[in-house]
Structures are given as structure tokens and as C-alpha cells.
Homo-oligomer: A and B are copies of this chain.
């Protein structure tokens, strides 16, 4: 099968190349002389802005407020929680000079902000009346990755990090799972990405957390993308930082903590779930522009129809762009496909003479001829239908690539295929090491399901069902 879009490798020929081709060809990012960082171009940034607006509302609707912490962390502050510093120190960027002066103490650019929030919490939490504290921050973090790929793994990451403090463990655990649910809903309802929702293994949890939960998506190539995490810290950080509050009985207590985050990586997940050899395919609920209008010709009746359509779409709060450039219709159709606008409206003279226009759905490339007066009604109906269809298509594909293994021989055999393998598991890190070494797969997250008595890998007592898969 030939590829009709210049500059995009076929997805089935070379998935990695296809991905970077789409990212570049759809004008989402550009590279610069800053190694490991990317420039997010207007169209890519518009997708992020839409993600931010939706998530920010979801966070506020669940009682959270935004703050802004410093972007630097002095080394001594990063060092306070032992597991945390061991996890992050190897991958931070260090600032050692301010102007011409060497700093007395070097500072890293935040890789995450638990330590900064804890230092602040120690000052502002005094009484049970001050709890819960439900803070979120939108910012850029830095992790000094060796190998980088646009959106998936880069040295600079745009993200949000929620940091909350609670009077009881129960309340903090509830928050951890509540925000995981917010992420799951966002992925489903906006990104049309089906995700597995569960707990990470002891080995894979966040440095300093008691429990880490994640949402795990499966990309078109069967590889996992961890698309958001939520951590329950218990009292670990709070004790390390000496945070205490006076409870209702006038006694000192240590509060319980959570943090949760998701990043620009979600844009990568969006691409690798839905897009195809013609370029981006964006679900209507996250697309910066839901409709592209392409007039074919410059006749007065065409211009009049375009104007009328614009007004109707505005009235219905449907976002759109118009491509009335002097390029050929074929060129503009292909460009519209590269950009992934959910619905393309082609307005041509011949169609108009018959009282119709042509709609093209980006996900199926299906062409629909619609009477001119019913265009907006048809668009209004099609957008939610398309959103749902994209989710279902991704879910069915994902489910078809989840296998179950009851012993290690089966596991090894199945590991040669793309996808996830589900097993009954003991939870032991030794099993994960072995699996990683011999198959390249890593544990994703547990699922709420009955498990067999024995671990499929080592034969010891099983404690959960766990998914394994290769990961981005």
C-alpha cells in the first residue's frame, strides 16, 4: 500500500518513524539547539491548552486551587526525604552559577515539587482547621533523560502536579483514587483513550510513595504508555519534614499526603492511539478545531455559503478553521487530513447547484453528501458519534492485544507478540527483574480481578493480577 502523504512513513512499516513524521508533519513540534527539549508549535500547543483548560476545570470542580512554587530546589531541600532524593538526584539539571557568582549551594531545576510543597506546608499547616489542603500547580519540570522523543520523553516536561494534605489516611487514600478517576474520565471522554487503571508494583512506584496508581494506555503498536499517576504518600514526607497539626482533641498529629500528575506526554498518547498514515486523527472533544471548511472555487455563491456556515458554527460553539488558500483542492484535503480536523466540509460549485455539500469524517474518511441546510445539524450529530466510535475502536483493538498466561512458558511465548500479558502474580521484584531481563516486559498495573493461587512466573503464592507490557 503506497502512502499518499509526503513525509509520512507508513505506520505498519516503521511505527517509530511514522510517529516522529506525524508529529513534525502536522506542525506540532520543532527541534532547536537545546538538546532533549522541544519547541511546541502553535497547533501542538493549542492541543495542550485545550487539555489544560478541561483538566483545570475538573480539578477546580473537585475543590482544588492552583499555586506556584519556585522552579529551583536547593540541594539540601531535595535531600530531606531519602528515597526521593535517590530516585531523582541522578536525573536533575543543576544550577551552579548566578551571573558570574558561584552559588554557595547548588540548586536543581525541579524534577517534581514534593519537597517545595512540604516546606511550605510545614509553615501553613497548624490546625485540623487548615486541612485538607488541595493544591495543584501547572508548570515545567526538568528530568535529564538520555534518549528523548517528542512528547513521550523529553528533558523539559509541561505538566500539572497536585499536592494534597489530609487529616486522615482514609481521606488521603480517597483523594488518591478520586484523582485517578478524574484522569481516567478525561482520557475516555476527551482523548478517547481506553486505559487500565490500577496500582503499580513496589518496584515501579514513585520514589518516596507508599502506593502509586497509574492509568496505562496501549498504543497502536501494543506498547504501553503510562499516561498519568496518583500517589499515596502516607506520612513519609510529612515526618521527614516535621509537618504536624493540632487535632480536634488538641493533640499533635502528622497529616497524610498525596500527589498526582499528568503531562504533555498525553499528546503522544493521543497520536499513537488514533492517528494513521494520512496524519493526525483527533477526537472531536480535544481537537483545537473540530471542523475545517474548504471552499472549492471563489464564486460568489461559494463565499456566501462559507460565510453562512461560519455564523452557524459560531452559534453552536463548534470550532473551525477555513482553508481558502490558492492551493489545489486535493492538496488542501491532504493537509486537512494531516492536521486531523475531525470533520472536513468541502463546498464546491457543482455540489451547491444540487443543494448539497460534502462532509468527510477524519476517523473513517467516509464521505457524506448532505443537503446544504442540514450541514450543521449533521455536524452536531456526527461529532459525539465520532468521539464514541474512536474510543470503541481503540478499546476493541486494545482488548484484542491483551493475553493471559498461566505459566512462564506461555508468558515467554506471548511476550513475542505486541500487547499486554495478564498473569496471577506474587508481587515480588525478583519476578519483575527476571521478566524484564528475559522478555523486555515490565509490570504495568494491577487490576481488580480474582487471581489464581500461584504466581505464573515463580510459582509462589499469588497476591494479585498484574499486567505486563513493553513501555514507552
* A 176-208 to B, binary, CB cutoff 8 A, 1 in contact else 0: 000000000000000000000000000000000
Q: Which one of B32, B39, B89, B96 contacts A96 once the chains associate, using CB atoms below 8 Å?
A: B96
Known: A42-B135, A67-B40, A140-B71. A96 touches B99 (CB 8 A): no
What's the minimum C-beta distance from A98 to chain B, rounded to whole angstroms? 4
**Least CB separation from A135: chain B residue:** B42
Interface residues of A in 123-143 (CB under 8 A from B): 123-124, 135, 139-140, 142
B109–A95 CB distance below 8 A: yes
* A 106-131 to B, binary, CB cutoff 8 A, 1 in contact else 0: 11010000001001100110000000
A32–B70 CB distance below 8 A: yes
B97–A93 CB distance below 8 A: yes
Please indicate the chain B residues that have their CB under 8 angstroms from the CB of A73 in the complex.
34
Interface residues on A, range: 35 or more
A97–B96 CB distance below 8 A: yes
What's the minimum C-beta distance from A117 to chain B, rounded to whole angstroms? 9
A42–B66 CB distance below 8 A: yes
Please indicate the chain B residues that have their CB under 8 angstroms from the CB of A32 in the complex.
69-70, 116, 119-120
Query: What CA separation (Å) do A168 and B461 show in the bound complex?
Result: 75
Please indicate the chain B residues that have their CB under 8 angstroms from the CB of A42 in the complex.
65-67, 135
Query: What CA separation (Å) do A71 and B39 show in the bound complex?
Result: 10
Q: Is A171 engaged at the interface, CB distance under 8 Å to the other chain?
A: no
Q: Is A365 engaged at the interface, CB distance under 8 Å to the other chain?
A: no
Please indicate the chain B residues that have their CB under 8 angstroms from the CB of A76 in the complex.
33
* A 454-469 to B, binary, CB cutoff 8 A, 1 in contact else 0: 0000000000000000
Please indicate the chain B residues that have their CB under 8 angstroms from the CB of A94 in the complex.
95-98
Known: A33-B77, A90-B100. A38 touches B120 (CB 8 A): no
Query: What CA separation (Å) do A69 and B92 show in the bound complex?
Result: 19
Please indicate the chain B residues that have their CB under 8 angstroms from the CB of A95 in the complex.
93-96, 109
**Listed residue (A41, A45, A72, A92) with the most chain B CB atoms within 10 angstroms of its CB:** A72
27 A-B contacts, Cβ less than 8 Å apart? A30-B120, A32-B116, A32-B119, A32-B120, A34-B70, A34-B72, A34-B77, A34-B116, A38-B70, A39-B69, A39-B70, A39-B116, A40-B67, A42-B65, A45-B68, A70-B156, A71-B140, A71-B142, A72-B93, A72-B156, A90-B100, A92-B98, A95-B95, A96-B96, A98-B155, A99-B144, A139-B140
The 7 closest A-B pairs by CB, nearest first: A37-B70, A34-B70, A98-B144, A94-B97, A42-B65, A40-B68, A96-B96
